[in-house]
Amino acid sequence: MNALLTLLSGLSASISTRQQKTCGLWDPALWGATVNEGGHLSLDQVDIPALVAEFGSPLLAVSRSKLIQDAESFLAHVEAALPGSMIAFSYKTNCIPAVLRELHSTGCAAEVISPYELWLAEKLGLSGDRIVVNGVNKDYVFLHEAVRIGAASINVDHPGELDHLRKAATRLQRKARLSLRLKVDRSSHFGLGIESGEAEEVARRISEAPELFEFAGLHFHAVADNDDPGLHVSYMITALGFAKRIRSTLGLTTANLNIGGGYTVPTMKVMSRFEYARQRFLGVPARPPDPHRGVPFSSYISSVARTLETYCKTNDLARPRVILEPGRAVTSQSHVMLTLVHAIKPNTAGPDFVMTDAGKILTSYPCDYEYHQMFAANRMREANVVSYHLMGRLCTSADWLAKFRCLPKLRSGDVLAIMDAGAYFTSYSSNFAYPRPEVVMLDDGKAYTLRRRETYEHLTAMDDIDVLSSEDTVLLPRVEERL
- pLDDT tens figures, 288-297: 999 998 889 9
pLDDT at 8 over 80: no
CA atoms of 90 and 54, how far apart (whole Å): 31
pLDDT at 208 over 70: yes
Q: Report percent pLDDT > 90 for the chain.
A: 82
Domain residue limits, the chain: 14-62+333-453, 65-331
- Rg over alpha carbons for the chain, rounded to the nearest Å, is 25
Confidence of residue 31 (pLDDT cuts 50, 70, 90): very high
Confidence of residue 479 (pLDDT cuts 50, 70, 90): very low
Please count the CA atoms within 13 angstroms of the CA of 23 that sit on its side-chain side: 26
CA atoms of 104 and 87, how far apart (whole Å): 10
Q: Average the pLDDT over 273-278 and give the result.
A: 89
Task: Judge contact between 413 and 340, C-beta under 8 A.
Answer: yes
Q: How far is CA 15 from the centre of its chain?
A: 29
Structure-model confidence comparison of residues 82 and 280, the more confident one = 82
Given its phi and psi angles, is residue 478 left (phi above 0), alpha (psi -120 to 50 degrees) or beta?
A: beta
CA atoms of 392 and 364, how far apart (whole Å): 10
Nearest to 468 by CA among 454, 456, 483: 456
Q: Average the pLDDT over 237-256 and give the result.
A: 97
Structure-model confidence comparison of residues 187 and 267, the more confident one = 267
pLDDT at 30 over 80: yes
pLDDT at 3 over 90: no
pLDDT digits (tens, 9 = 90+) for 67-113: 999 999 999 999 999 999 999 999 999 999 999 999 999 999 999 99
How big is the CA angle at 53 (ends 49 and 58), to the nearest 5 degrees?
A: 75
Confidence of residue 389 (pLDDT cuts 50, 70, 90): very high
Query: What architecture is the 14-62+333-453 domain classified under in CATH?
Result: Beta Barrel (2.40)
Res 326: pLDDT: 96
CA atoms of 151 and 143, how far apart (whole Å): 10
Task: Judge contact between 242 and 317, C-beta under 8 A.
Answer: no
Res 222: pLDDT: 81
Nearest to 85 by CA among 102, 67, 107, 70: 107
pTM of the predicted model, to two decimals?
0.93
Measured in degrees and rounded to the nearest 5, phi and psi for residue 176 equal: -100, 125
CA atoms of 28 and 30, how far apart (whole Å): 5
pLDDT at 226 over 90: no
Q: Average the pLDDT over 390-411 and give the result.
A: 94
Res 483: pLDDT: 45
Q: Which amino acid is at 207?
A: S
Confidence of residue 482 (pLDDT cuts 50, 70, 90): very low
Res 102: pLDDT: 98
Q: Average the pLDDT over 26-53 and give the result.
A: 97
Kindly tell me the burial class for residue 1, based on how many C-beta atoms sit within 10 Å of its own C-beta (0-12, 13-18, 19 or more). Answer: exposed
Nearest to 339 by CA among 27, 36, 5, 61: 61
Indicate if 65-331 has the same CATH topology as 14-62+333-453.
no
pLDDT at 364 over 60: yes
Query: What architecture is the 65-331 domain classified under in CATH?
Result: Alpha-Beta Barrel (3.20)
Task: Judge contact between 430 and 362, C-beta under 8 A.
Answer: yes
Confidence of residue 227 (pLDDT cuts 50, 70, 90): confident
Confidence of residue 477 (pLDDT cuts 50, 70, 90): low
Measured in degrees and rounded to the nearest 5, phi and psi for residue 239 equal: -65, -40
How far is it between the farthest Cα atoms of the chain?
80
Nearest to 106 by CA among 67, 142, 163, 158: 67
Measured in degrees and rounded to the nearest 5, phi and psi for residue 192 equal: -100, 130
What's the whole-number average pLDDT of the chain?
Answer: 93
Cα separations (Å) of 309 from 235, 259, 314, 320? Answer: 15, 14, 9, 10
Lowest mean pLDDT among 139-143, 156-160, 286-290, 474-478: 474-478
Res 470: pLDDT: 54
Confidence of residue 463 (pLDDT cuts 50, 70, 90): confident
Q: Average the pLDDT over 194-201 and give the result.
A: 95
Residues 343, 346, 347, 352, CA torsion sign: positive
Confidence of residue 467 (pLDDT cuts 50, 70, 90): low
